[in-house]
Amino acid sequence: MTNKNGTLAIHGDWTLNDYQTLKQRVAEYSGQQWNTATIDIKSLGRVDTAGASLLAKLLGPELLAALTAQETSLPSEQSALLHAVADALMQKPSPEPEKLTPVSQFLTETGKTVEAIWHLIYLLSGFVGQIIATLSVVLPRPKRWRVTAFVAAIQNTGLNALPIVALLTFLVGAVVAFLGATVLEGFGATIYTVNLVAFSFLREFGVLLAAILLAGRTASAFTAQIGAMKVNEELDAIRTLGLDPVELLVIPRVLAMMVSLPILTFVGMLSGLVGGAMVCAISLDISPAQFMAIMERDIALQHFLVGMSKAPIFAFLIAAIGCLEGFKVGGSAQSVGVHTTSSVVQSIFIVILLDAVAALFFMEMGW
């Protein structure tokens, strides 16, 4: 670095090896004012980030960026490095956030929410399609069935959930019967408490309560299991071995849910009816035999079939959402918790939404 006739010529290597020497030379020229006409960097040799930071200190980041853009004889890698260091050292004031009115802020948040929901629907639709495509490949080939994983998933999703489903539906059946007896007593129609309990559990409560319990209990477990595997890079190992994670992890869980939820729905219907029958026997003097006779006379088989028909659809979507959220987990434990919560919320929401749509459909069809 030399100063001749008011022009500062920068030459030689500006690297970490010569940092102390260069730092002393830069200190000698500190405080002087330079411009692009009085700086010559054509003879600049090798440069690294340490040397570039000294050049920025000597000339100023703005002047260094201007020289880098003006001087075309420098290698492109050198120019890019100097420009990047100059940009990083420039003191650019951060723009002030735009102040939004309450209406604009509400519309902005609404737009973000709608966009997020659309993105979730888009991902779920693609994942459902991938599951169906994998099923179409695996099911015709019995050698590719993973029976052990399937049976283990049935035990976890169905058998272990049986007591809590039976207890909850029994208690809800008792509550519905109490409610019906209280309301219908004013009309002298307490006998119709049997119809109320039977209709509600065969068509709605049996499948809905079982699905919500599995959404909270099993979908979260699927997300946590697959998410932990992703955090531990086990999914990458599975792909490295030439295996398909959807076939290995998702298909057994989806099929197990589609077997478990109809069974749990049936158990929930029976438990709810038992709870209602117990309340009718205690409070309304309707014996279990009379309870069953009224059901046989007034309740058609189609109500049972309507409730059971929803179970496989709910099971498929709950399992798909739980597995999809597991695959979306990032590389931290916090991400596992966030997506586990998201899978539970999404599963319960989709179950209630589809149940409402199905109720309207069956009502319009006269079923």
User: 207 and 350: one domain?
Assistant: yes
User: 189 and 231: one domain?
Assistant: yes
User: What's the pLDDT score for residue 344?
Assistant: 92
Q: Which residue has the tokens 């309707």?
A: 286
pLDDT tops 70 at residue 97? no
Domain count, the chain: 2
Q: Averaged over 236-252, what is the pLDDT?
A: 89
Q: Which candidate, 231, 234, 228, 233, places its Cα nearest to that of 248?
A: 234
pLDDT tops 80 at residue 72? no
Q: For residue 191, give the DSSP letter.
A: G
Q: Is residue 109 part of a domain?
A: no
Please tell me which residue, 51 or 322, carries the higher pLDDT value: 322
User: What's the pLDDT score for residue 316?
Assistant: 94
Token digits for 288? 């279990």
Q: In this structure, are residues 278 and 225 in contact, taking their beta carbons and an 8 Å threshold?
A: no
Q: Is residue 106 part of a domain?
A: no
Range name among 47-61, 97-111, 152-166, 269-283 with the lowest pLDDT average? 47-61
User: 170 and 264: one domain?
Assistant: yes
Q: Is residue 336 part of a domain?
A: yes
The answer for residues whose C-beta is within 8 angstroms of residue 316's C-beta and 6 or more apart is: 128, 254, 257, 258
Token digits for 307? 């409730």
User: What's the pLDDT score for residue 39?
Assistant: 73
What is residue 42's three-state secondary structure?
A: coil
- Each as own residue / partner, the long-range contacts of residues 8-13 (CB below 8 Å, 24 or more positions apart, any chain) are 8/34, 8/38, 8/39, 8/40, 9/40, 9/43, 10/39, 10/40, 10/41, 10/43, 10/44, 10/55, 11/43, 11/44, 11/45, 12/43, 12/44, 12/45, 13/45, 13/46, 13/47, 13/51
Q: Is residue 137 part of a domain?
A: yes
User: 167 and 314: one domain?
Assistant: yes
- In this structure, the strands spanning 12-14 and 44-47 are parallel
Q: Which candidate, 271, 280, 301, 269, places its Cα nearest to that of 193?
A: 280
User: 253 and 323: one domain?
Assistant: yes
User: 213 and 346: one domain?
Assistant: yes
pLDDT tens digit string along 3-22?
666 677 777 777 877 778 77
Range name among 31-40, 207-216, 256-265 with the lowest pLDDT average? 31-40
Q: Averaged over 313-319, what is the pLDDT?
A: 93
The CA distance from 170 to 158, in Å, is: 17
Confidence of residue 266 (pLDDT cuts 50, 70, 90): very high
Range name among 82-96, 144-158, 187-201, 280-294 with the lowest pLDDT average? 82-96
Q: Which domain holds residue 33?
A: 2-89
User: 178 and 215: one domain?
Assistant: yes
User: 122 and 222: one domain?
Assistant: yes
Range name among 76-85, 121-130, 171-180, 243-252 with the lowest pLDDT average? 76-85
The CA distance from 34 to 219, in Å, is: 66
| Residue 330, number of CB atoms within 10 A of its CB | 13
The CA distance from 10 to 62, in Å, is: 17
**Residue 8 backbone phi and psi in degrees, to 5:** -90, 115
Q: Is residue 36 part of a domain?
A: yes
User: 156 and 241: one domain?
Assistant: yes
Confidence of residue 2 (pLDDT cuts 50, 70, 90): low
User: What's the pLDDT score for residue 273?
Assistant: 93
- In this structure, the strands spanning 39-40 and 12-14 are unpaired
The CA distance from 295 to 297, in Å, is: 5
CA-CA distances (angstroms) from residue 63 to 69, 219, 267, 309, 361?
A: 10, 59, 78, 74, 72
Helices 147-154 and 251-283, packing angle to 10 deg: 20
The CA distance from 22 to 29, in Å, is: 11
pLDDT tens digit string along 165-177?
999 999 999 999 9
User: 165 and 308: one domain?
Assistant: yes
Position 341, amino acid: T
User: 44 and 173: one domain?
Assistant: no
Dihedral sign, Cα of residue 280, residue 285, residue 289, residue 295 = negative
User: 84 and 212: one domain?
Assistant: no
Q: Is residue 99 part of a domain?
A: no
User: Mean pLDDT of all residues in the chain?
Assistant: 85
Last-in-domain residue among 42, 74, 89:
89
pLDDT tens digit string along 178-215?
988 888 888 888 888 888 899 999 988 999 999 999 99
pLDDT tops 70 at residue 151? yes
User: What's the pLDDT score for residue 31?
Assistant: 64
User: What's the pLDDT score for residue 274?
Assistant: 93
Q: Is residue 46 part of a domain?
A: yes
Q: Which candidate, 144, 328, 130, places its Cα nearest to that of 229?
A: 328
